[in-house]
Amino acid sequence: MNRLIIMAAALLSLVSCSRPEPSTARRELDRLWKGSPVEFRHTPEMKAEAFGIEREGHKFVISSADDTGALYGVYSLLRDSMQIPREESPAFPLRLLNHWDNLDGTVERGYAGHSLWDWDALPDSVSPRYLDYARENARIGINGTVLNNVNASPQILSHDYLVKVARLADVFRPYGIKVYLSVNFASPMVLDSLPTADPLAAEVTDWWKNKADEIYSLIPDFGGFLVKANSEGQPGPMDFGRSHADGANMLARALKPHGGIVMWRAFVYSPIDADRAKQAYMEFQPLDGKFDPNVIIQIKNGPIDFQPREPYSPLFGAMPQTDRMVEFQVTQEYLGHANHLAFLAPMWTEFFEYVKPSSLTAIAGVANIGDSDNMTGNPLAGANWHAFGRLAWDPQLSPARIAREWIDANLLIPGSNIPDSIYSGLLDMFLTSREAVVDYMMPLGLHHIFAFGHHYGPEPWCDIPGARPDWLPKYYHCADRQGLGFNRTTSGSNAVEQYPEPLRSQLNDIDTCPEEFLLWFHHVPWTHRLKSGHTLWDELCYRYERGVSTAEDYCRRWEEARPYIRPELHADVAERLRTQAADARWWKDACLQYFREYSRLPYPTGVTAPV
């Protein structure tokens, strides 16, 4: 009887006592703002990950339904304690970084050193940098990370590696971050010598089911798989005469009992006869409605490959019965690597002008992170990591606001009284930088005239023996004596057909096609007049020249801002900006000299002839 009374009393006290304080949120608060007048309030009716901040007398109250919401509330309060009361919740439930990190420590398209993951030292030794990484991500609302390259080594699914992955998951969990893995479709053949990886073969489905059970026994909140299949030589279901849907659904069914998901990439790239810009749509659109509910199709923002400017991929509008997510590239594979300043928020908000965030289930960004001291190589590239997270949280945020947040917190000497004119010069550098890159690399809709392999400098003349057909000279720019640009209209490859009306007709007509996409969709005569009144040739020259002078101007502005910038950053960035300006001139000289062999027109006044 006594025991019963004690148990009832204990139960009663559990019910009446409020939920314990969210421990990570409290720890972060104590670390970043000791003695702060903040109280946490458990508010179960709020949405997952959401938070509210209000004032009660002298204290701040952060309300949330869960610990992650409380943590996000802390970071948000530290960023802005003025706009109160406010309530926020994320626009996308899944906000992921994709690491293209290989198990040997290299990073594909990474420009910030080696991989942050020290696979050899794990699981016994856990670098303190994993915690820094988790905090940086939680600060901007990232809630998932795919640890390894989409060109995936099957070894990541071996037991030894899964134990290491589990250690990382333990570090990230308190910060609301789940781990995911890229998987190689042929894993059962490589790891366990199965004769096939056919997604419809019973032994294969069993293998994946057992693998999923093993993963979840080590990592109960494992997020799921990311898959690059039948693209650039990676294995996939089509090797066995099956479709992307067969492959994705088989994996999805193995993960489903545990609540995991499959992100199946639509970046399919193999030498085909059709215009490469059409390939993803051609392969995936017919499969709409055939994917299981826990599959999301992960589509790059544009139809080709992370170019400085691309129109949105028409696949986003073509699979209404399938969950879709966008893949942005935070690392600057095609935007000057770690040398150029290219603040990417304007590029990503431009995408959202065409694709409604509410039509997407999730968002991923290919990380620009490595083991360099600042984790991003170029210190200014930290602004892109920040921007990706902030836009994943709220795609309506303006690039200017995001840039200001980052500049204030990271660039300026605390307390430095920077004059308005210098501050707005700095801000303007960020906001114009992506457009400047477009100007000096590939204006007016030109694309993919990069050097083969490293994707850094210009090579519109590329004719590497043995290169893929679309790398052959002129595949993308189609320069000839008449003009320049890829005819994707109804009289050409008809890629316009993949876009809905009225956009399709607008793109199809040389007079209504937005000029930033002109040479993407049209083969334009050299003497065709553009809106500026200039001929195509003259306008092309002016754009390249404008790109160069903008890049040169950045060096001057940066110098002017020197007294207000953290000294350890100033010299490093100054050097990179000088490289950027020199590269801009290199791009201009190389491209104009090359295209002039076709246009045979003089350089217009005001444009310095290449030396």
DSSP state of 365: E
Q: Which residues contact 457 (CB under 8 A, 6 or more apart)?
A: 450, 451, 583, 586, 587, 590
- Name residue 326's amino acid: V
Please give the sequence-ordered ranges of beta strands (E in DSSP) within 228-343, or none if there are none: 261-265, 295-300, 323-329
Cross-strand pairs, 551: none
Active site residue 333: yes
Instruction: Give the span between the Cα atoms of 439 and 541, in whole angstroms.
Output: 10
Among the listed residues 28, 305, 310, 538, the single catalytic one is 305
- What is the contact surface with ligand GCW in residues (CB under 6 A)? 100, 108-109, 150-151, 228, 267, 305-306, 333
Instruction: Give the span between the Cα atoms of 366 and 559, in whole angstroms.
Output: 31
- Where do we find the tokens 């050899």? 120
Query: Cα 447 from chain centroid?
Result: 19
Q: Which is nearer to ligand GCW, 255 or 366 (CB)?
A: 366
Three-state DSSP class for 87?
strand
Contact 138, 98 (CB under 8 A): no
Instruction: Give the span between the Cα atoms of 104 and 2, in whole angstroms.
Output: 62
Among the listed residues 49, 333, 539, 583, the single catalytic one is 333
Other beta carbons within 10 Å of 456: 18
Beta strands 524-525 and 483-484 are antiparallel
Q: Which is nearer to ligand GCW, 242 or 265 (CB)?
A: 265
Q: Which is nearer to ligand GCW, 228 or 596 (CB)?
A: 228
Contact 363, 325 (CB under 8 A): yes
Both tokens of residue 354? 């065409």
Go through the chain and tell me how many residues it has: 611
Shortest distance in whole angstroms from residue 305 CB to ligand GCW: 5
Nearest residue to ligand GCW by CB is: 305
Helix orientation angle between 399-410 and 382-393, rounded to the nearest 10 degrees: 130
Q: What is the largest CA-CA distance in the chain?
A: 102
Instruction: Give the span between the Cα atoms of 348 and 268, in whole angstroms.
Output: 22
Spatial CA neighbour of 132 closest among 373, 470, 340, 488: 373
Helix orientation angle between 159-172 and 202-218, rounded to the nearest 10 degrees: 40
Q: Which residues contact 238 (CB under 8 A, 6 or more apart)?
A: 229, 230, 244
Contact 207, 194 (CB under 8 A): yes
Q: Which is nearer to ligand GCW, 92 or 306 (CB)?
A: 306
Q: With the C-alpha atoms ordered 445, 447, 449, 454, is the resulting torsion angle positive or negative?
A: positive
For residues 334, 335, 336, 342, the Cα torsion angle rounded to the nearest 10 degrees is: -170
Bond preceding residue 286 cis, omega within 30 of 0: no
Spatial CA neighbour of 438 closest among 558, 350, 532: 350
Active site residue 21: no
Contact 303, 495 (CB under 8 A): yes
Backbone dihedral region of 66: left (phi > 0), alpha (psi from -120 to 50 degrees) or beta? beta
Residues with catalytic function: 232, 305, 333
